Structure 1
Amino acid sequence: MDIHERTTKWSKGISEMDVLSLAEKEIVCNKVAKQLFAICVTVVTLILIAIIASMFEYPWLLDYMTNTSNTVNQDLSTAHSQAGRAGGTMASLPRMIPVLAAMLIPTMAVFYIIKKPLLKREIKKLVEEKLADTPSTDDVLTSVYWEFSNQEYMSNDAFTLDIINYIEDNKANWNPNGIAINSRKVCIV
């Protein structure tokens, strides 16, 4: 799976991704992929440590692991060709499945449980960085004074009339047909 396919797949079902460009989505996905790799390696390491510690506590587990190791080694040592080694590995696979399952199932569960929260956290960080890097929008509708109230307006003309009549300066500064923010999307935080 290349980066575009992964980005598309990971973006599904996350509405926060809609405000990002494809390049920004790829940046977020790369960061999360690296974090997930580190977390999964940590989980596997902790599981291996738990298995090793359990072998000291439970002798039957130590016997099982020793027998599994002996079976794998015996099957591989008696096979003298590549096909024979593959067959030896397949013959010893049933003994390795419980160990592999004990390592892979929790790791995959952690991966799928934390992927979405990590994506959302990285999106939030990226959006906050973008907001910090963008020029200030304090100049939008400058010198237009208005006090918000609970009054509902039935038309733009009625609202414009109230703004113009509110303070004398608003006549010169209010442009109801102008563009306040020239952007395809606006993120309001």
Structure 2
Amino acid sequence: MTNTNTTPEQPAVPPLPEQPPASPVPAKKKLSPLTAGILGLVLGAGIVGGAWAITANSSSEPDTFTLEGTFALMEDAVDIGDSCGGRYDSGYDDIQEGTSVTVYGAAGDVVATGHLTNGEKALGTCTFDVAVEDVPKGEKFYKVEVAHRGTVQVSAEEAENGEFAASLG
């Protein structure tokens, strides 16, 4: 019979070396502050440039449009230099090239401003071009006012399609 209460003899553990063995991977060198700064600058510029390129080439529609159309002064129109406008004593003397055009949103707030341009007189009527840039999209309708003469309401579709038309007199 064998004694099972005895522990078998263990192999001897070799002693640890006094110096660790040489690593097959060389130790990493620390970057100098100047090198780290230049590397950070180059990486940062690359990220910003990449983001700019992606957003610049995106095909999303602009959030604004140019409201275009015409405004006609139907009476008391006279030639004014290369343009036309209201006769000085007619009550329409504020209507001429450069007269303000204000666009209001559905809530009544001013959303964009512009002015009358390219006045042309024909058959006693002075017709101006209206082009108000940077009108924000998203309103149900717009109201357009020339000078202080009251507003004309246009649907969002008409406004965005350049279908504004109004007259006075």
Same fold (TM over 0.5): no
TM-score norm. by structure 1 comes to 0.26
TM-score norm. by structure 2 comes to 0.28
- Which of 1 and 2 has greater Rg? 2
Q: Which has the higher strand share?
A: 2
Q: Which has the higher helix share?
A: 1
